[in-house]
Amino acid sequence: MFLYLPIAEISVNVFVILGLGIGVGTLSGIFGVGGGFLMTPLLIFLGIPPAVAVGTEANQIVASSVSGVLAHWRRDNVDFKMGSVLLIGGVIGSTFGVFLFKLLRELGHIDLVIMLSYVVFLGIIGLLMLVESIRAMQRSRSPTRRRKLHQHNFLHGLPFKMRFRKSKLYISVLLPLLIGVFVGVLSAIMGVGGGFVMVPAMIYLLGMPTSVVVGTSLFQIIFVTANATFLQATLNQTVDVVLALLLLVGAVIGAQIGTIVGAKLRGEQLRGLLALMVLAVCGKIVFDLLVTPEELYVIAGGGH
């Protein structure tokens, strides 16, 4: 069954898109990741224009983060104060990011910047996860070492200190603000929630307890991606609600499958598998950038 997407302006097979939503939704259910960093490149592989894939994915992440944050809120795993500081930074960052997106689009380089961002981040995250999961598999065979609650480094010496009760932290607001700005820019350019950068940053840079990290990250992602959605819609007209809805339906179903499957399977091995998938997507993008195109000239849509 084919459906014409009004903004992407192409016909897609409904079941392919639903399947994609279910697949990525299942992964996010298993691993607790947003899935944007897999969904956006997969949409691009399917032939959705990169700019539309990015704008639409921001819209879809709003929904999945709302859904996710409620579950964490019920378990009292959201640090709203920290989340608010991060989201102020995030809104500033994503606003800047969308304007940058518009500028790059006019210069004709947006596709390249999206692809290169993906190569860099998928590459880094994929490798880190792979190393992590291999270590975890080894560790499960040997006795574990206890880590300190968090390490202090020079970042904790910055001014404007603020107390974050839930995170058991007394740190400078500048740090979460800057992290928020950085992830906001990424989120706007790459069409991701940014959880895959935000979560490690919260744990390793801010030193937040792992229990509140995911909930707080999801909380701020709602606002950052909502801001990105609004700006992408108004400045670039690249948000396809029909596509977003199709993906959503798939993602909701997938998330349920994911939680069931995730509870039955071994974590480290799955994480290793996810890492390999991330690296495979990264590899495909690199290949596309390097291989000589059959047609050297492309229609650019015109100067109107």
Partner 1 sequence: MIWRIAVFALALSAWAGSTAKAQPVVVDLSKSSVDITAGFTGTEVLLFGATSGYGEVVVVIEGPKEIIGVRRKENVAGIWVNGRQIDFKNVPAFYKVLSTNSLDEWLPLAVREENQIGVEYLNLKPLDSNIGAAEASEYRAALIRNKQQINHYGDVERRLNLAGGRLFRSEVFFPANVPVGRYFVRTYLVDKGKIVSTRTIPLNIRKIGIEADVFRVAHQHSALYGIAAIVIAVLAGLGGNALFRRR
Interface pick for partner 1 out of 42, 45, 46, 66 (rule CB under 8 A): 66
42 binds partner 1 (CB under 8 A): no
Length of the chain, please?
304
Q: Which stretch binds partner 1 (CB under 8 A): 81-89, 193-201, 262-270, 296-304?
A: 296-304
287 binds partner 1 (CB under 8 A): no
Residue 63 CB contacts under 8 Å (≥ 6 apart), including other chains? 244, 248, 251
80 touches partner 1 by CB under 8 A = no
Angle at 67 between CA 65 and CA 72, to 5 degrees: 85
State the residue for tokens 């701020």: 220
Which among 235, 280, 289 has a CA at the least distance from the CA of 113?
289
Q: What are phi and psi of 120, to 5 degrees?
A: -60, -50
273 binds partner 1 (CB under 8 A): no
Judged by beta carbon, residue 176 or residue 258, the one nearer partner 1 is: 258
Q: Does 139 interact with partner 1 (rule: CB under 8 A)? A: no
Which 8-state DSSP code applies to residue 156? G
C-alpha to C-alpha distance for 29 and 252, rounded to whole angstroms: 9
The region of 86-94, 128-136, 200-208, 250-258 touching partner 1 under the rule CB under 8 A is: 250-258
Structure tokens at 97: 């990011």
Round to whole Å and give the CA distance between 36 and 30.
14
Q: Hey, which residues between 90 and 119 contact partner 1 (CB under 8 A)? A: 108-109, 111-112
Lay out the site mask for partner 1 across 210-249 (x = CB under 8 A, - = otherwise): ------------x---x--xxxxxx--x-x-xx-xx--x-
Candidate residues 26, 28, 40, 64; the one interacting with partner 1 per rule CB under 8 A:
64
Give yes or no for a contact between 49 and 4, defined as CB atoms under 8 angstroms apart.
Answer: no
**Would you say 175 or 239 has its CB closer to partner 1?**
239
Alpha-carbon span 113 to 151, nearest angstrom: 35
Contact stretch for partner 1 (CB under 8 A) within 63-71, 121-129, 138-146, 148-156: 63-71
Return the residue of 42, 46, 63, 277 that touches partner 1, per CB under 8 A. Answer: 63
Structure tokens at 144: 């574990």
Alpha helices by DSSP H, listed for 3-109, are 14-31, 36-45, 50-74, 80-107
Which among 232, 304, 250 is positioned nearest to 7, based on CA atoms?
A: 232
Q: How far is the CB of 89 from partner 1 (least distance, A)?
A: 20
Question: What are 23's two structure tokens?
Answer: 């697949």
Task: Pick one of 26, 28, 40, 59: the residue that binds partner 1 (CB under 8 A).
Answer: 59
Rg of the chain in Å (alpha carbons): 19
Pairing verdict, β 161-164 and 169-172: antiparallel
Closest approach, Cβ 207 to partner 1, in A, equals 30
The single residue among 42, 45, 46, 67 that binds partner 1, judged by CB under 8 A, is 67
Residue 264 as a binder of partner 1 (CB under 8 A): the answer is no
Which parts of this chain interact with partner 1 (CB under 8 A)? Answer: 1-7, 9-11, 59-60, 62-67, 70-71, 108-109, 111-112, 222, 226, 229-234, 237, 239, 241-242, 244-245, 248, 251-252, 255-256, 289-293, 295-304
